[in-house]
Amino acid sequence: MTSLWQARSHLFNDRTAGDYHRRLAEGLRRVRDRISRVDRPFTGITPTQLAARIGRVDLDRPLGGAAAALDELEELYLRDAVYFHHPRYLAHLNCPVAIPALLGELLLSSINSSLDTWDQSAGATFIERRLIAWTAARIGFGRGADGVFTSGGTQSNLQALLLAREEAAHVSEPRVLTGAAGHFSVQKAAKLLGLGPESVVVVETGGDRRMRTDALAAELERYGGAVIAVVATAGTTDFGTIDPLPEIADQCALSGVRLHVDAAYGCGLLVSPTRRHLLDGIERADSVTVDYHKSFFQPVSCSALITRKGGDLRHSAFHADYLNPARVAAHLPDQVNKSIQTTRRFDALKLWLTLRIMGADAVGLLFDEVVERASQTWELLADDPRFEVAARSALSTVVFRFLPDEPELADQANRYARKALSASGAAVIAGTRVDGREFLKFTLLNPETTIEDVADVLDLIAEHAARYAALILEEPHVPA
Ligand SMILES: *Cc1c(COP(=O)(O)O)cnc(C)c1O
């Protein structure tokens, strides 16, 4: 039996600060050693193998010490994790993380401030507010802007639609218009808000995978006063394309409809030294989603919703007796009145230390570098008859597919190549469907990924896909 004295020794306080330092240093050493040894983005382990290993752990029998628990964790997690910092991790919107942000992560979880009320956060509240104001200024919003950190783009989009819904509370069959390449969190938010299955109207995109403004005009005309918001995407998840923000803003202004810009991915352009103009028009939005954990090299979670009119956030407030009324009267700076969360992490500290140590320009340079790499990749693919490329990205994704000699095998061959690549661990890439066909996707967020890495991975894809096509012709039952 463990004693109360032993149990207390695990809590972080003045008496245990030395132990805190020793244990965390051990954790740091392990991560350092592991990272230095990672030679591929993934080991290719299967879910069955890992589930069995983790299932065998008896959670009612602690190992007693950090060293034993960390040894166990090597087997359960660290050895077979997916490593986003590896130059051949090319799959999703996961960035390598900035060390200043990791320093922030350590501090914020150790002190464990909660951003709901001033009396649980003190300075943290004002650090968050400064970063919101900083981001709003980068967007080009005026002085009345405000916002709040969120758990991610999904939550930011949900809150943006909540505000839109409340601003148009009188509308009986509300409609939200968004582009065909928009993020599914818009549909999910509509569902959570009870807007009804018909509420999200998908506006056609053109061959360039951007929202068509003629199609938007037609939908605005068709649904008239029922439209509570248009959601434009500044950086579509699949194609990295940016909807035509100035034209969309014009139409929204003309129709008196709210504009939300989902810049979860494209927000990195806010600090780009050369490509900031791609976001022109974003300053005319009513609200903007930014995911620092997508394109500011921040660890998950680090995101925000920014609103042009700070007052819009009042729709997120609820006056709980134990938290609010007297406090509001006393003008205490409680962030809970702006958030849909209550207890909330001080994620802003990561961005703060990033800006204070590296600076925004350094972040922008890194983001520019990956956008450049995607552009080089596009050129490589355009000149390579083995592949077909979908739309040209404004950001850092590349959507393409291998073209086998037998065109009818294209879908299976590409799916097979992606799985085979991941099972080998040589690279991790993503897949998506374009107009019903199977495509492959690179999301390039690592400035360490060279164009040679990309070329090598393309060769591997071509080998796997061609092998599949050859196999299937001999043995028609090979699973794709
Ligand atoms: C990733 C993404 C989201 C969702 O953000 P999370 O942080 O994953 O919740 C929303 N919109 C776009 C365009 C995205 O790329």
State how far the Cα of 96 lies from the Cα of 85, in Å rounded to an integer.
5
Quote the domain boundaries for residue 219: 113-350
What does the pLDDT read at residue 317? 87
**DSSP per-residue codes, 421-456:** HHHHTS-B-EEEEETTEEEEEEE---TT--HHHHHH
Question: How many angstroms is it from 70 CA to the middle of ligand 1?
Answer: 32
pLDDT tens per residue across all 480 residues of the chain: 689 999 999 999 999 999 999 999 999 999 999 999 999 999 999 999 999 999 999 999 999 899 999 999 999 999 999 999 999 999 999 999 999 999 999 999 999 999 999 999 999 999 999 999 999 999 999 999 999 999 999 999 999 999 999 999 999 999 999 999 999 999 999 999 999 889 999 999 999 999 999 999 999 999 999 999 999 999 999 999 999 999 999 999 999 999 999 999 999 999 999 999 999 999 999 999 999 999 999 999 999 999 999 999 999 987 666 656 666 667 889 999 999 999 999 999 999 999 999 999 999 999 999 999 999 999 999 999 999 999 899 999 999 999 999 999 999 999 999 999 999 999 999 999 999 999 999 999 999 999 999 999 999 999 999 999 888 888 777 666
Evaluate: CB of 185 within 6 angstroms of ligand 1: yes
**DSSP per-residue codes, 249-301:** HHHHHHHT-EEEEEETTGGGGGG-TTTGGGGTTGGG-SEEEEEHHHHS-PPSS
Helix 185-192 to helix 153-167 angle, to the nearest 10 degrees? 50
Q: Where are the alpha helices (DSSP H) in 146-257?
A: 153-167, 185-192, 213-223, 245-255
| For residue 121, cis peptide bond before it (omega within 30 degrees of 0) | no
Chain centre distance of CA 301: 9
State how far the Cα of 51 lies from the Cα of 227, in Å rounded to an integer.
46
State how far the Cα of 377 lies from the Cα of 450, in Å rounded to an integer.
10
Identity of the amino acid at 290: V
State how far the Cα of 335 lies from the Cα of 361, in Å rounded to an integer.
29
Measuring CA to CA, which residue among 249, 266, 71 is closest to residue 153?
266
Question: How many angstroms is it from 144 CA to the middle of ligand 1?
Answer: 26
What does the pLDDT read at residue 477? 72
Number of the ligand 1 atom closest to the C-alpha atom of 185: 10
By most ligand atoms within 8 Å of CB, the mutation choice from 151, 176, 178, 185 for ligand 1 is: 185
Domain total in the chain = 1
Number of the ligand 1 atom closest to the C-alpha atom of 291: 7
Place of tokens 């469907």: 433
State how far the Cα of 140 lies from the Cα of 277, in Å rounded to an integer.
12
Pairing of strands 437-443, 430-434: antiparallel
Number of the ligand 1 atom closest to the C-alpha atom of 266: 13
State how far the Cα of 348 lies from the Cα of 172, in Å rounded to an integer.
38
Rg (CA), the chain: 24
State how far the Cα of 290 lies from the Cα of 145, in Å rounded to an integer.
14
What does the pLDDT read at residue 11? 97
By most ligand atoms within 8 Å of CB, the mutation choice from 183, 211, 432 for ligand 1 is: 183
Q: Tell me whether residue 299 is in a domain.
A: yes
Q: Tell me whether residue 461 is in a domain.
A: no
Structure tokens at 275: 């490509």
The residue ranges of DSSP E strands in 321-458, in sequence order, are 387-389, 397-402, 430-434, 437-443
Place of tokens 């053109």: 206
State how far the Cα of 129 lies from the Cα of 148, in Å rounded to an integer.
8
Q: Tell me whether residue 402 is in a domain.
A: no
Evaluate: CB of 153 within 6 angstroms of ligand 1: yes
State how far the Cα of 325 lies from the Cα of 329, in Å rounded to an integer.
6
Question: How many angstroms is it from 245 CA to the middle of ligand 1?
Answer: 18
Q: Tell me whether residue 194 is in a domain.
A: yes
Question: How many angstroms is it from 252 CA to the middle of ligand 1?
Answer: 23
Classify the phi-psi angles of 237: left when phi > 0, otherwise alpha if psi is within -120 to 50, otherwise beta: alpha
- The CATH number of the domain holding residue 291 is 3.40.640.10
State how far the Cα of 279 lies from the Cα of 241, in Å rounded to an integer.
11
Identity of the amino acid at 329: A
